[in-house]
Amino acid sequence: MAVDSYIKKMFGEKSSQFADAKVLLVGAGGIGCELLKDLIMMNIGEIHVLDLDTIDLSNLNRQFLFRHKDIKQSKSKTAIAAVEFFNYKSKLYAYHGSVLDTNLFPLSFFKQFNIIYNALDNLEARFYMNRMCLYLNIPLYESGTTGLKGQVQPIYPYLTECFSCVPKETPKTFPVCTIRSTPSKPVHCITWAKDFLFSQLFSNEDTNTQEIDASEFTNEEEAEASKKEVNELADLKKIIANEGDNEIVIKIFEKIFIADIERLLKIEELWKSREKPSFEQIKDYDHFFKDINKEYLTTCKDQSTLEEILKTFASSLLRLTDRFKNNENIEFDKDDEDTLFFVMSASNIRSLIFNIPTKNEFDVKQIAGNIIPAVATTNAIMAGFSALSSVNYFLENDNINRVVKSKMVFDSSSTDKVVNSSKLIKPNPSCSACSIVKGIITIDLSSTTLGQLRDKLIEKYNYGDDVEIMTLDSRLLYDFDLEDNLEEKLTNFINDQTVLLINDSDEKFDLIELYVLNSQNSEIILPELNIPLKKIKPSENENDENDDDDKLLVDNEENNDIKVTVSLDDDDDLVEEQPPMKKRKF
């Protein structure tokens, strides 16, 4: 059966509208390859594919449009060339470049599309595309996978939850003081062993790069103690380089696991509300250091006894010392046994001191190596749902109905089903991105004064009295104190692509955000916006210590009352369920 009639059979007469659509696919990697194929099968009129990457050997197992001969070639260009032979009708365009590059892809580039599909692998680009779609009011189909988990989220700007509405579990960086002074999880100890201890002892990089920023510590004593540690470690590095006998094991052990901890113990502030570190679990260490050698115990990967932990520490330290003395440049590598075992055993000793569970080789390798496996099947499933979900865009006539029909899809935590779906959720009223209405202002910056802009804003949006004009990075350009600035040309303050925040001095209307497009000889063109009334006045918020995420999520749940009935007959095997109200992984 020809694709045309097949699609017609599935989606009815309106499916002919697929052919009129112009869509952008951001990312031609794991999900992107799958999605490109799916969109072609839908006969989408124009598909523009954008990716900054070139093809790597490690991509070939799942990014099925690429072959060995394509290595080092552009992903987007190779992908569209690869599908050409089974492409039926779609016009394809490839762009090689970063979506964040405003020279290559200014806001006006995105304007031409009906739908944008995200198939990205990083949060920065996702947040960016989310904002662009908010400025332009374009539906965004967001998808992502990690291992066997995945999700698809259709985003209809200001009508449904956007990508920023729910806090994301970002690849964690931890506060310095947590790593250096007050670890509470295995990952804190592993990070300490890998990024601090290992690099201090064996990295050839200048130790000055590890300079401590005192402002990262809340406690000045703590910052001092930390500085001292670094200096003394530099001394130990000298010992490693010059002496290198078995004494080193004891010296280094007693410095980093006894003396440094004792120093921390003296800072009483730290332990007022925390469990103090204790030497109880490692107190017999010298017993195990009596007969150390460079051969690893056969059971050293288990890390289940103090002997396994301490002897692995001693052996890996001595082996690394030998390599260091041979002027080898040692970098941490999860596949380099000595470096992995050193980080593993050192972090476990620290864990014993801070009463944190120890981890075996497998776990440490995962955590220290930041390994998130990519799974072809998950990519294919999620890409399929993304394409399928976007069918509603074409079958319905307006965004309200599209929102009602569209579903969010995400992995299931139960064992008897693979995925769940849920209705789309209303935006989080305190979302950093979509709770502020956005639009584009076209303006000639070199001929327009700040005063003219102010007057135009007041006239267009019916502000009662006056406005405050800020930039997104919180430079205040105009308010009651800055009358002098009104005479100045806008070029003095801002550029093309600056984002302006406009606040109502009366506090009646909520903030709005305007993306500046500089256009010579243009009149001031302001977007049509529906500016909501101010929801929370900052002053009313003062007694409310709502800095914890949980509260926001609770609010969200309460507001999750989109009053619609959704027909379930099109997805019998999917159980209607609330999306997981936890930090979702992306």
Angle between helices 75-83 and 30-41 (to 10 degrees): 30
For the chain, state the CA radius of gyration. 29
Asked if 511 touches another protein (CB under 8 A), the answer is yes
Please count the CA atoms within 13 angstroms of the CA of 564 that sit on its side-chain side. Answer: 18
Q: How many residues does the chain have?
A: 586
Residue 489 annotated as binding?
no
Asked if 133 touches another protein (CB under 8 A), the answer is no
Note if 133 is an active site residue: no
Out of 31, 165, 197, 330, point to the residue binding Zn ion (CB under 5 A): 165
Q: Which residue stretch of 287-295, 320-328, 384-392, 468-476 sits at the interface with another protein (rule: CB under 8 A)?
A: 468-476
Instruction: Say how far apart CA 321 and CA 282 lie, in whole Å.
Output: 23
Specify the DSSP class assigned to residue 171. Answer: P
Instruction: Say how far apart CA 311 and CA 295 lie, in whole Å.
Output: 9
Q: Minimum Å distance from CB 435 to Zn ion?
A: 6
Q: Which sign does the torsion angle of CA 324, 330, 336, 337 carry?
A: positive
515: β partners: 440, 499
Neighbouring residues of 231: CB distance < 8 A, sequence distance ≥ 6: none
Q: x/- contact string, 224-263, with another protein (CB under 8 A)?
A: ----------------------------------------
Out of 34, 260, 468, 504, point to the residue binding another protein (CB under 8 A): 468
Residue 255 annotated as binding?
no
Interaction residues for another protein, span 159-188 (CB under 8 A): 164-165, 167-168
Residue 438 annotated as binding?
no
Q: x/- contact string, 521-540, with another protein (CB under 8 A)?
A: ----------------xxx-
163, with CB counted inside 10 A (0-12, 13-18, 19+), is: buried
Out of 35, 47, 162, 531, point to the residue binding Zn ion (CB under 5 A): 162
Q: Which is nearer to Zn ion, 96 or 126 (CB)?
A: 126
273: which 2 tokens? 């509300």
Q: Burial code of 62-84, b = ≥16 C-beta within 10 A, e = fewer?
A: bbbbbeeebeebbbbbbbbebbe
Q: How many other C-beta atoms are found inside a 10 Å radius of the C-beta of residue 18?
A: 22
Question: Considering CB distances under 5 to 8 angstroms, the limit depending on partner class, which of Zn ion, another protein, none binds residue 580?
Answer: none
Residue of 33, 133, 177, 300 marked catalytic: 177
Residue 431 annotated as binding?
yes
Neighbouring residues of 358: CB distance < 8 A, sequence distance ≥ 6: 186, 303, 304, 309, 348, 351, 352
Instruction: Say how far apart CA 415 and CA 164 lie, in whole Å.
Output: 29
**Pairing of the two strands 22-26 and 467-471:** unpaired
Closest by Cα among 230, 261, 267, 269 to 352:
261
Neighbouring residues of 60: CB distance < 8 A, sequence distance ≥ 6: 66, 67, 68
Cβ–Cβ < 8 Å for 119, 350: no
Residue 124 annotated as binding?
yes
Q: x/- contact string, 263-292, with another protein (CB under 8 A)?
A: ----------x-------------------
Question: Considering CB distances under 5 to 8 angstroms, the limit depending on partner class, which of Zn ion, another protein, none binds residue 162?
Answer: Zn ion
Question: Considering CB distances under 5 to 8 angstroms, the limit depending on partner class, which of Zn ion, another protein, none binds residue 485?
Answer: another protein
Q: Minimum Å distance from CB 516 to another protein?
A: 15
Cα distances (angstroms) measured from residue 290 to each of 121, 298, 377, 567:
49, 18, 52, 72
Cα distances (angstroms) measured from residue 151 to each of 127, 166, 212:
16, 14, 39
Q: Which is nearer to Zn ion, 434 or 441 (CB)?
A: 434
Question: Considering CB distances under 5 to 8 angstroms, the limit depending on partner class, which of Zn ion, another protein, none binds residue 321?
Answer: none
# binding residues, another protein (CB under 8 A): 45
Q: Minimum Å distance from CB 445 to another protein?
A: 13
Q: x/- contact string, 471-490, with another protein (CB under 8 A)?
A: x--xxxx-xxxx-xx--x--
Question: Considering CB distances under 5 to 8 angstroms, the limit depending on partner class, which of another protein, Zn ion, none binds residue 184?
Answer: none
Out of 112, 293, 541, 559, point to the residue binding another protein (CB under 8 A): 541
Asked if 222 touches another protein (CB under 8 A), the answer is no
Cβ–Cβ < 8 Å for 63, 119: no
Question: Considering CB distances under 5 to 8 angstroms, the limit depending on partner class, which of Zn ion, another protein, none binds residue 527?
Answer: none
Instruction: Say how far apart CA 239 and CA 257 lie, in whole Å.
Output: 17
Name the residue type at position 368.
A
Q: x/- contact string, 545-574, with another protein (CB under 8 A)?
A: xxx----x----------------------
Interaction residues for Zn ion, span 407-436 (CB under 5 A): 427, 431, 433-434
Q: Which residues are annotated as a binding site for Zn(2+)?
A: 162, 165, 431, 434
**Interface ranges with another protein (CB under 8 A):** 164-165, 167-168, 214-215, 218, 220, 273, 430-433, 435-436, 468, 470-471, 474-477, 479-482, 484-485, 488, 492-493, 501, 503, 511, 537-539, 541-547, 552
**Interface ranges with Zn ion (CB under 5 A):** 162, 164-165, 427, 431, 433-434
As annotated, the active-site residues are 177
